[in-house]
Chains A and B, each alone.
Chain A
């Protein structure tokens, strides 16, 4: 990347709208909490304390031992929320990586290769598209005992088709652009064109799709866990917490509301950042056409 391009990206970072700055701060805070808090010995999400059951959070009861209160078997809600957040982030991030790698390579294979391969790949994508994702997920977790690894792989793999379609479509349209013809006229190989023109032009839509997929994978995991077909106790997950807190909603609402707020914040910040990235990555929008 040239200096000028770099500096223009820096300028757009400087011109970042306040909303996006807040999103970044929140996201970094959540990541930092998820990474560092588990190292603090003071909090452990599994220690039960039957004497401290259903303690109120400090903002309701300043004398409370627990910052965010405790659950029906006396486990610390703060540490559970942080663990749940970490779990969501790990599943989301790794899932997105698996989906992106798989989807982009299949999409490129389909778009550049063409022929029967293209037909098969697109037929599979079509087929998957026509079956509700939650249904597939439920069938899979019934067959395989759901663990964090299983959730990552399943959610990641199932998100491939969005990328594959996007990449294939982009390749087909970019291939018709005159600059690709021109590159061919200059003697460029298929590989050169794929790397220099195609990849560069599809990079930003992929990044945008990845951020939106990040939130959808996080939501899927929480939904499954909430329904009881995702991660199983004693694993910690935001979805599980929301689900188990439901029984005490009338009396101890914080058990449900706090993890829900964290989940919502996580999803909203990643989506907003994704939208902003799309604008920044386009040189035409960057210079204000």
Chain B
């Protein structure tokens, strides 16, 4: 791994939400939403983050762009050839750094201020960073709108006049306004209709090529993530359980949770097989996670060591770029997606 290719390196990031009780708001515990995650992102690639609700993926994304202050950890970001820790930056320096890191939000309805026109929404980043005159800003807004496939005649409209897909385009245009190099996409298509999802996915990949963008793509839908990502990180209760290239993740999963996800996902093919027993039970409460491996309560391959010792995220021997946090990663023979498409479409 060549270091000068890395644009973002997250190191032991943690975000705890204190649980307060009583009249004096005494802290009685912590919801460990993100509990020590480490990973890196290379320039120009898309790293997908998947996991079920409450796994901390959204919180992690928000901590990285610092809309939320993490409890501890480092977020190293490449600026002008140097890695800087975003979390150590002053307010003023952070504001400058924000020009390069942007975010696209899930809900195309609440992420746009209902009382602002499209022009104002897309120009907001320019306005905040005091870039250009009114005239120049308007020109830039028109240019951005054409990049995302909106017409300049829609400039003075309000968000509610647009469909979900178009609103997501507005959000993307706003994120592009400052020419960022890195964008955190937080569930950008999960609120959209099926036929519109594909439009937005394609738009994001076209823009990536056109503007040399790097994405951190957070979603709960494994097929969407798999489709857009070069590498995928699987999270479970605030921790990374597996991270590898997307091909290797779906053909050769090394963590039992990843296997369960691959087997659980409904495939749009009536001849696909589904003979795997779904995982039992629920995701544990992140304020009171089980000891040892957090997945051991639901893991079909659990052994004593799993209940005692939390596994470290480690790179598997002989497998480049394949990181797993499981004691039994080497010995288990887990099933990839190929087991489900055994009966192929070619009939």
Report the count of interface residues on B (CB-CB < 8 A).
35
- Cβ of B8 under 8 Å from chain A: no
Q: A201-B115, A283-B114 are in contact. Are A185 and B161 (CB under 8 A)?
A: no
- Cα A287 to Cα B174 with chains together (Å): 24
User: What mask results when residues 139 to 181 of chain A are scored 1 for a CB within 8 Å of chain B, else 0?
Assistant: 0000000000000000000000000000000000000011101
A178 touches B106 (CB 8 A): yes
B114 touches A284 (CB 8 A): yes
Q: A178-B111, A201-B113, A284-B160 are in contact. Are A185 and B119 (CB under 8 A)?
A: no
Q: Which residue of A lies closest to B119 (CB)?
A: A2
Q: Which residue of A lies closest to B177 (CB)?
A: A186
* Chain A min CB distance to B257 (Å): 29
User: What mask results when residues 91 to 114 of chain B are scored 1 for a CB within 8 Å of chain A, else 0?
Assistant: 000111011011101110011111
- Cα A197 to Cα B94 with chains together (Å): 21
Q: A186-B124, A188-B128, A284-B160 are in contact. Are A181 and B119 (CB under 8 A)?
A: no
* Chain A min CB distance to B24 (Å): 12
User: What mask results when residues 310 to 332 of chain B are scored 1 for a CB within 8 Å of chain A, else 0?
Assistant: 00000000000000000000000
Q: A181-B105, A185-B65, A186-B125 are in contact. Are A5 and B117 (CB under 8 A)?
A: yes
Within 8 A of B (CB), among A1-41: 2-5
A185 contact from B98, B112, B113, Cβ within 8 A: B98
Q: Which residue of B lies closest to A204 (CB)?
A: B115
Q: Which residue of A lies closest to B96 (CB)?
A: A187
B94 touches A187 (CB 8 A): yes
A187 touches B105 (CB 8 A): no
Residues of chain A lying within 8 A (CB to CB) of residue B107? 178
A179 contact from B65, B99, B112, B128, Cβ within 8 A: B112
Residues of chain A lying within 8 A (CB to CB) of residue B125? 186-187
- Cβ of B28 under 8 Å from chain A: no
Report the count of interface residues on A (CB-CB < 8 A).
24
* Chain A min CB distance to B208 (Å): 19
Q: Which residue of A lies closest to B120 (CB)?
A: A2
A187 touches B161 (CB 8 A): no
Residues of chain A lying within 8 A (CB to CB) of residue B119? 2
- Cβ of A48 under 8 Å from chain B: no
- Cα A254 to Cα B99 with chains together (Å): 72
B158 touches A287 (CB 8 A): yes
Q: A2-B117, A183-B128 are in contact. Are A283 and B158 (CB under 8 A)?
A: yes
Per CB-CB distance, the 10 closest pairs between chain A and chain B, nearest first, are: A4-B156, A178-B111, A187-B95, A187-B98, A185-B103, A178-B110, A179-B113, A178-B105, A186-B125, A184-B67
Using CB atoms and an 8 Å cutoff, list the residues of chain B in contact with chain A. 62, 65, 67, 94-96, 98-99, 101-103, 105-107, 110-117, 119, 124-125, 128-129, 156-158, 160-161, 171, 174, 178
Apart from the given pairs A4-B117, A283-B114, 15 other A-B contacts in the complex at a CB distance below 8 Å: A2-B156, A5-B117, A177-B110, A178-B110, A183-B124, A185-B65, A185-B98, A186-B102, A187-B128, A188-B128, A196-B113, A197-B113, A200-B115, A201-B115, A283-B160
